[in-house]
Structure 1
Amino acid sequence: MDNYSVDPNKLQVEELEFSKGSFSRVYKGWYLDRSVCVKVIRKDMLDPDLLVFINREIDILKDLFSKTHKNIVEFIGVGERESLLFLVTELVHGGDLGSILRDSSIQLPWLLKLHIARSIAEGMRFLHSKNIMHRDLKSNNLLVGDDWTIKICDFGFAKSLNPTSLTNTICGTDEWMSPEVILGMPYNYSADFYRLEERLPQNNFDIDLEELEKIRPEECPEEFWKLALKCCSYYPKDRPDFDSIIDSIDDIITVQESVEFPPTPIIIKDPNFNDQNALENWFMLSNLPGDILDDSFEMDNVKEESIDFSDEEKFDEEEEEEPPRSRRWYCSIC
């Protein structure tokens, strides 16, 4: 056993799923008296190309384990039992940023949004300083901690890359791909700068400024809007790096602090207390003590509802019909 090995016999996993796919499930769980997030993968259902990306994600997480950063999800370890692979990371209670941004009942003040953007940029700067390119940066791969610290996750498409090198692999999620990735052209770290921004109205990969102005939030700081446009520049050389992005956001925050004084509160119109994720988000957004969340993760409760992974038929159940979602791309060129 190495430092990253997880003993499946000491891993307790709850019934409640975070998410599921054709070959994996994500659960809450416990390992060595701490709450964790567990991705359970059916290795026998993977094609060779996907297995390459999963093994690469494990290798990158192991590499980052010795270089922990507050904006990178903590890797705990990996374990195996027969055809099942367990990928264990820290449990981040707030869920993913995408779910929060899409929830119309939650209104975040711009000052908080700026701090979130800075938190993301800090994590990405750290990755790039370690010669790691994420290649699938998007709101669904950003976890929100109790104190609004953003943690970057999902390194399935990440790759170690020399700063002067280029790569050709078409991978990621189509809505967040930079033009050079979509066109199959060689690209480098600048593709991650592009992914920092949400998808904007485009015309042949060029920004349609007229259409863009129609969706610009009225309260959005003008300088932040300009920064977003720079990150979405067609030519990689015109995009700012994360050092420049962080410096720009710091300047914008300084101005916004004088605009939002006293600080604008987070508004929650109608939290759905019947939904566990909404409940956890409500605790987090309301700045309630973190130990309130921990009450639902007592060891006795988890053991009573834990899953016996010796029964693999659970993964053979017919998949439910899911709504259309963004496509994730990969190819066999690594």
Structure 2
Amino acid sequence: MALLSYTTEPVGNASLDKWESVGCGGFGHVYKARHKDWGFDVAIKILRDGICPLTPKQEALYEEADHMEKGSCEFVLRIYGIYQGCPPIRGMSVQQGIVMEFMGGGSVQSLQKDLSGPPPWPLAFRLAHQVALGMNFLHLRNLMHQDLKPNNVLLNDDLNAKLADFGLSRVSTSALNSSTETTREVGGSYKYMPPEAFEASYQPVRAFDRYSYGILIWSIVTGKEPYPVADHTLVALKIPLGDRPLCEELDRMRVEGLKELVDLMKKCWDANPSKRPTFKECLEVTEYVLSRHRNGIHDAVHQVLTKLKSPTCNQHSDTSMAVSFAPQTPEHPESNDTTDNVMLTKTQRSSIQDSVSFSARRRTTKDKAKFVDDNRAVLIQDVSEVMAIAEELGDMVHPETYLEIDGKATSQGKMRVLYNKTFRSGGVIVKAAFFDVLKKHHPRLVERLDG
């Protein structure tokens, strides 16, 4: 693997100060640090040990860095170099990582959470356009992202979007010589994967990203997670049969340009990969839609930033951002129904609707921790989304514990490690955080145990 062309010397601890952990996931741990000489903050992504058993850790690191350098543009996260040293908040062993642009605005996912819904229309349309710009650039460089989703779209301080996390980025197989064999794994989060990707023999091509973009548009304009209570098995079963997120609510809204964007969204998630528009074709639509709302961008960004800085922002209100600032459409305000999921049966819909009153109950941190303690046996047996939950807990799960959880073959084994290694040492705060994440991934289970 060739080293980065411009990186002659690694960035070391002598150049860095004010380390701070900002994120933890299955592929690596991300820190924020101030570069003393450059005078600005950078993000440092350090890979987990053992995450790639078939590829040496250093090769995986440089592969991601090379893809980032090749895809670097205004709408793709910049890479500054390679880190080598001992992170002061991660022990004494020498580590290698990627030094990247730091994005102070979080991600689309964190924005949705903080706003309890979608951003105002002008900002939503700008996000959709900027993602398309970044993806078009990558595809023109014969790169795929292969993990396009809200938490991989990062935001700067002005809420402009850039694509991040090239841990699954691959050279496009559709751009390779036909005699070249590809043995790469199919990546991506399953709710954003196209129907053909659930086939064992699938080899990813650029149509993969085009499908993911369609689902991402839906998430941006609704402020919701697709299929919120569906597990991998159900998604893998239903998506190839034609199920997609529901659009009736969007179809009723009277917002200039929205119909064009929804039509594009539906074309992107077409079951036939050859019918999905290229990102250059997507840009024709997103640029037109954004042009109808450019005059509102400044106010929309100002309103969102004001909201994010308010002391009550992290208190999860039932009122969406669309209603807090201005209804996304006066005729049809945003619905509070969180079951926008074509996969749900009537029984499941009723269950989720009944859980609204449960979710609204105010619980203290001690109440949440007691719930986790009292239901230990059932939670170990029934919780299936253990890795997703551990990832959302972030720094509360020690990196070595995360690897141990990931190494267990069953969800029951994973949950036992979480109880024994994380809950026992973390105490009430960690258990309460687990309770909050559990409600998101297993609302019916929490409701059942609470009843």
1:269 Cα offset (Å): 5.3
How big is each residue's C-alpha offset from its partner over 1:146-198, in whole Å with a ceiling of 9 and x where there is no partner?
A: 33321111101001225444866321111111111122323310111111133
Contact 1:194/1:239 (CA < 8 Å) preserved in 2?
yes
One of 189, 207, 223 as aligned partner of 2:206 = 189
Q: Which has the higher contact order (CA 8 A, sep 6+)?
A: 1
What's the C-alpha RMSD, in Å, of the aligned pairs? 3.7
- TM-score (normalised: structure 1): 0.72
Identity rate, percent: 22
CA gap 1:215/1:252 in 2 versus in 1, 3 angstroms? closer
Secondary structure of the residue aligned to 1:196 is helix
Instruction: Find the aligned partners of 1:89 and 1:186 in 2 and give their Cα distance.
Output: 30
Q: How many residues align?
A: 286
One of 9, 16, 28 as aligned partner of 2:20 = 16
Question: Larger % of strand: which?
Answer: 1
One of 157, 160, 177 as aligned partner of 1:149 = 160
What amino acid sits opposite 1:57 in the alignment? E
Contact 1:37/1:90 (CA < 8 Å) preserved in 2?
yes
Q: 5+ residue gaps in structure 1?
A: 279-313, 327-334
Is residue 205 of structure 1 aligned with residue 222 of structure 2?
no
Is residue 61 of structure 1 aligned with residue 68 of structure 2?
yes
Secondary structure of the residue aligned to 1:172 is coil
Contact 2:80/2:99 (CA < 8 Å) preserved in 1?
yes
Instruction: Find the aligned partners of 1:127 and 1:239 in 2 and give their Cα distance.
Output: 17
After superposition, residues 255-294 of structure 1 pair within 5 angstroms as 255-256=292-293, 266=303, 271=309, 273=311
Is residue 28 of structure 1 aligned with residue 32 of structure 2?
yes
Contact 1:157/1:171 (CA < 8 Å) preserved in 2?
yes
Could you tell me which residue of structure 2 aligns to residue 225 of structure 1?
A: 262
Is residue 3 of structure 1 aligned with residue 6 of structure 2?
yes
What amino acid sits opposite 2:30 in the alignment? V
Instruction: Find the aligned partners of 1:183 and 1:148 in 2 and give their Cα distance.
Output: 37
After superposition, residues 86-235 of structure 1 pair within 5 angstroms as 86-105=97-116, 108-161=119-172, 163-165=174-176, 169-184=185-200, 185-198=202-215, 203-208=238-243, 211-214=246-249, 218=253, 221-235=258-272
CA gap 1:222/1:170 in 2 versus in 1, 3 angstroms? same
CA gap 1:216/1:6 in 2 versus in 1, 3 angstroms? farther
Q: 5+ residue gaps in structure 2?
A: 86-92, 217-225, 228-234, 317-397, 402-420, 424-429, 442-451
Secondary structure of the residue aligned to 2:80 is strand
How big is each residue's C-alpha offset from its partner over 1:19-63, in whole Å with a ceiling of 9 and x where there is no partner?
A: 1247742111022332101123354x4442463644421221243
Q: Which has the larger Rg?
A: 2
- TM-score (normalised: structure 2): 0.55
1:270 Cα offset (Å): 7.1
Secondary structure of the residue aligned to 2:271 is coil
How big is each residue's C-alpha offset from its partner over 1:89-147, in whole Å with a ceiling of 9 and x where there is no partner?
A: 01111111111023335752212211111111111111111111111111111111233
